[in-house]
Structure 1
Amino acid sequence: MSEAEFKVIDQKIGLFGGTLLLVGNVIAMTAFLLPAHLIADDGLGPEVAVAMLLVVLPITFSILSTLQVGGAMPAAGGSYVYGSRLISPFFGFLLPWIVVPSIWLGQLYLAFGFAEFMRFFPTFDWIPMWALMYAVMVPFIVLNILGIRIVAQVQMVLVAIIVGGMLLFILPGTFVIDTANYSGMFEAGIGPFFVAVISLSIAMHGFNLATDLGEELENPVKNIPRVLGLSAVISIGLMVALVVVAVGVVPTEFYVENRDAGVAMAAFEFLPQWSAYIVAAAAVVGAFTSINTLYTAYSRQVMRAARDEAIPLYFAKLHPEYQTPYRSILLLAVPALIMVPPMSQTSPVIMASVLAMTSMIGAIISSVALWNLPRRFERRYEYSIYKLPLPFLKFVAIASATVSTLFLLGVSLELSWILAIIFGWMIVAYPVYRYRVRSLREKKGIDLRKRMQSLHDYEQQRAEEGARAADVEPDQTTPGDDVSPTED
């Protein structure tokens, strides 16, 4: 397949727009929605705050890994590219295989949170959950088809509302915390605690957006590290503070009685009524920003896999007017829309847990990709504008894989059946991958595995621009390092 068979996206956003997209994607509904449900549905207590603090560990490793690999190999749909180029073609195929179904659940989880907080407002409390879920999903599907610049412009307003609402809860709440509310930890046992850690860790999904945007960022080699760093400081700090304050301002029994829109209900205890409604509005907007960027990020993975024909080339096509991967967006959106009615009756903790488990599996795959980067793409690592020293790179890879594995083992104590389904789905991927390889070879004469081991020309050029930015003169391409894809 020549690169003429697909078009590269030519819309661009800068450092500020990219940071806003990431902040909105990471903060999401999680800190607003899950603490009350974890306490009410899973019998947890103040250890929810400890779980949120512990989530910082895998997120930190994820950011470091993304900084290194994304700085060395900036490409749209980065996670797919790194799995296929730095490990093996099958792992590149595996990522969209497990990501697409998890993103269906991710949209439903966010839409559920939106509906729950909308019903907090008396004007909307009569509307069925499923109707409110449709009300948030459909407009953002359309918005993402219209283009990345419009997405970024909308995000600017939405993120300002989220940050304002969070600070309105955090700052006054800090002064009314009762330390007695943090007593009685771990009475529910270790299994539910790991469910809390796993479900709260879905923020890890958010940081992948920086590399998945790839070609849509201005000067991606420089801006990927900057976007990641800025968004990490803002979003992680706000999320941890919100959960810690939410647990400290009321006894955990409060959330058992006020599970729905729990954080907003807690705001009534120490804020004026109008302020509590602003906090609820921030949670609603959190659903907006995350659904907004969910389509943006993961449609790029699907699009990039389709460019290689790991999945049908049909999904690589851009809209002729808006320059967006609209077919990939619809692949992510339509099945989720069909699933809205039954999922409107499901616990958001289950949906968040599935999404987070796939994120942990993806983190393990990314750890192997990071480990292989200096060996598989030596020049890309050597010329990367952001470069982890080799010993530290190996430490990050090992630590990230270890932490993710331990979290998966911990959550298996409580949700082993979900983990079994996910691993079963991954096993099914291998015969499908083998069929795809054989089918393309027989019908089109395409060596899919060879294609999935090399970068496209425009991706090589982007990485070389990074080398020049770092004042390094790239040498000539060596065998096995950045070989151009076979032209068909």
Structure 2
Amino acid sequence: MRRKPVEVLIADGGKGEGGTLRRSLGMWQLTMISIGATLGTGIFVVLGEAVPDAGPAVTLSFVIAGLTALFSALSYAELAGTIPVSGSSYSYAYATLGELVAWICGWCLILEYGVSVAAVAVGWGDYLNELLRGTLGVTIPTALAAPPGDGGVFNLPALLVVLLAMAFLLGGARESARANTVMVVVKILALLLFCAVAFAGVRAGNYTPFMPLGMAGVSAAGATLFFSYIGFDAASTAGEEATNPQRDLPRAIILSLVIVTALYVLVAAVAVGAHPWRDFEGSEAALAGILTSVTGHEFWAVLLAAGAVVAIASVVLTVLYGQTRVLFAMSRDGLVPAFLSRVHPRTGAPRANTVVVSLFCGALAAAVPLGRLADATSIGTLFAFALVNIAVLVLRRTRPSMPRAFRAPLAPLTPLLGLGLCLWMMGSLDEATWVVFGVWMAAGLALYFGYGVRRSRLAATTEK
């Protein structure tokens, strides 16, 4: 139950083994990191799985998932401005709820960031195949383009995009942020292009019945689509590389979520209006197929596929970045091996950390089917978000006079709503996902009590 004081967390900011992280990111770059980590996953990949559950009401599912994310985003914004460090919700929990809860939160973030990188990389391969088929008339053989369980042997494209993101990250945060900004602009333009072209195919009849499977279907789709909102908190992992974190982090988190939600709802509304909802079943590159059916030409689908290849690559890049920074903070606290917080003196990047995380995520991407990955990531994310909402309430009570650059409005109501919605959406996930989550938690607790609890640097300081 030992807690790490906020002042100590901030004082440790940027410090790693053999070097320090560099403060080089402004509000624009931070917003682009959060948009890059969020925008694309749900629309380009998971939409095909959610529409069969909710029907045309998938737009409502996006709104529900977005509101769930918003309440938690307000809590993230408050804590990011108060405790601007790399560990995101792991560090917030360490300051408010104690080391064991912080470990659990960090372990959930490893599931959230690490596994979602793999899931997104799998979707990237689908759009790469669409692009290759439309431009060169070739496709990657199924054996090399799908994981076991989805008819393949090894998903080579998914592994390649993770390794490409790793190469960018090894160059440092500033260089990665520049590449990400270009990719974010491309994917926003691609989604707006889809809306403009597919709108010609919208038919009123495709919106009826609006809610064919009832509110239960909308809720289930919302829980799946929540996967597409993870990433808005990515900016909070950059707390030690932001030039003015107290001011810029809260703004970047809220602004990115508003932009992403508006685009998701717009694109989903056009997609289900232009394509019968029953035909979305089994489609992981749904938007490209819609453009082909609406226009009768492959050109627009190829153009969208090119945008999706860039879009999803930016998700892989920014989410992988967030994962490395969470592990950096956990390593600095002694809860995972010290080499994960070693900083390269020239680039200011945790190189060993980046390589280990990338290889782990690449292996998952090559070997595990998309659907199970998405749901497992959602439950880990929801659990971590629930802890962040609790952390806001605890810090408000224990440190009421602490300076806060941003205060969640209507607290304690908004954190309590965020907590309640996270628990409700967790309950909408199926039993198999809970089993995966339980096994993951058991493994994490075994690792903490077998390694972290005895090597904790806070414990060593307390004993002295």
TM-score range, shorter chain: 0.7 to 0.9
- CA offset at residue 312 of structure 1? 2.0
Partner of residue 40 from structure 2, selected from 25, 28, 40: 28
Distance in 2 between the 1:152 and 1:438 partners?
35
**Identical residues among aligned pairs (%):** 19
Q: Does 1:264 align with 2:285?
A: no
Q: Does 1:12 align with 2:24?
A: yes
Partner residue of 1:384? Answer: 404
Change (3 A) 1:43 1:230: closer
* AA aligned opposite 2:372: I
2:240 is paired with a residue of what secondary structure?
A: helix
Partner of residue 166 from structure 1, selected from 185, 191, 194: 191
Partner residue of 1:337? Answer: 362
Q: Does 1:374 align with 2:396?
A: yes
* AA aligned opposite 2:84: P
Report if the CA contact (8 A) 1:103-1:332 is conserved.
no
Report if the CA contact (8 A) 1:199-1:349 is conserved.
no
Change (3 A) 1:438 1:69: closer
- CA offset at residue 320 of structure 1? 2.7
- CA offset at residue 440 of structure 1? 3.0
Q: Does 1:409 align with 2:423?
A: no
Partner residue of 1:223? Answer: 248
Report if the CA contact (8 A) 2:329-2:341 is conserved.
yes
Change (3 A) 1:340 1:10: closer
Partner of residue 139 from structure 2, selected from 110, 120, 125: 125
Output one character per residue of 1:68-118: Cα deviation in whole Å (capped at 9) or x when no partner.
111111111221110111111111111222322443421221111111111
Partner residue of 1:420? Answer: 435
Change (3 A) 1:55 1:236: same
* AA aligned opposite 1:291: V
Distance in 2 between the 1:388 and 1:438 partners?
33
Partner of residue 237 from structure 2, selected from 185, 193, 212: 212
* AA aligned opposite 1:263: L
- CA offset at residue 386 of structure 1? 1.4
Distance in 2 between the 1:159 and 1:219 partners?
22
Report if the CA contact (8 A) 2:24-2:242 is conserved.
yes
Report if the CA contact (8 A) 2:63-2:261 is conserved.
no
2:258 is paired with a residue of what secondary structure?
A: helix
Distance in 2 between the 1:399 and 1:359 partners?
16
TM-score (norm 2): 0.87
Distance in 2 between the 1:400 and 1:13 partners?
28
* AA aligned opposite 1:396: T
- CA offset at residue 357 of structure 1? 1.0
Output one character per residue of 1:31-78: Cα deviation in whole Å (capped at 9) or x when no partner.
122222344xx5652232321121111111121111111111111122
* AA aligned opposite 1:30: G
Alignment of 1:237-386 (within 5 A): 237-256=262-281, 259-271=283-295, 273-343=298-368, 346=369, 348-380=370-402, 383-386=403-406
Partner residue of 2:168? Answer: 143
Q: Does 1:53 align with 2:63?
A: yes
Q: CA RMSD in A?
A: 2.5
Partner residue of 1:481? Answer: none
User: Which consecutive unaligned segments of at least 5 residues does structure 1 have?
Assistant: 452-485
Partner residue of 1:482? Answer: none
2:130 is paired with a residue of what secondary structure?
A: coil
Output one character per residue of 1:181-207: Cα deviation in whole Å (capped at 9) or x when no partner.
122345446665444212211233211
Q: Does 1:96 align with 2:111?
A: no
- CA offset at residue 255 of structure 1? 2.6
* AA aligned opposite 2:102: G
TM-score (norm 1): 0.83
Change (3 A) 1:251 1:323: same
Report if the CA contact (8 A) 2:342-2:352 is conserved.
yes
Output one character per residue of 1:430-451: Cα deviation in whole Å (capped at 9) or x when no partner.
454344465338xxxx542x86
Distance in 1 between the 2:444 and 2:388 partners?
18
Distance in 2 between the 1:75 and 1:341 partners?
32
- CA offset at residue 125 of structure 1? 1.5
Partner residue of 1:116? Answer: 126
Change (3 A) 1:379 1:68: same
Partner residue of 2:227? Answer: 202
* AA aligned opposite 2:35: V
Distance in 1 between the 2:318 and 2:216 partners?
31
Q: Which moved more, 1:107-116 or 1:263-272?
A: 263-272
User: Which consecutive unaligned segments of at least 5 residues does structure 2 have?
Assistant: 1-7, 146-154
Distance in 1 between the 2:196 and 2:97 partners?
45
* AA aligned opposite 1:37: E
Report if the CA contact (8 A) 1:178-1:249 is conserved.
yes
Report if the CA contact (8 A) 2:53-2:218 is conserved.
no
* AA aligned opposite 1:275: W
Distance in 2 between the 1:145 and 1:5 partners?
16
Partner residue of 2:258? Answer: 233
* AA aligned opposite 1:15: M
Report if the CA contact (8 A) 1:61-1:396 is conserved.
yes
Distance in 1 between the 2:284 and 2:359 partners?
27
Alignment of 1:74-93 (within 5 A): 74-93=84-103
Partner residue of 1:479? Answer: none
Partner residue of 2:4? Answer: none
Change (3 A) 1:96 1:286: same
- CA offset at residue 374 of structure 1? 1.5
Report if the CA contact (8 A) 1:437-1:447 is conserved.
no
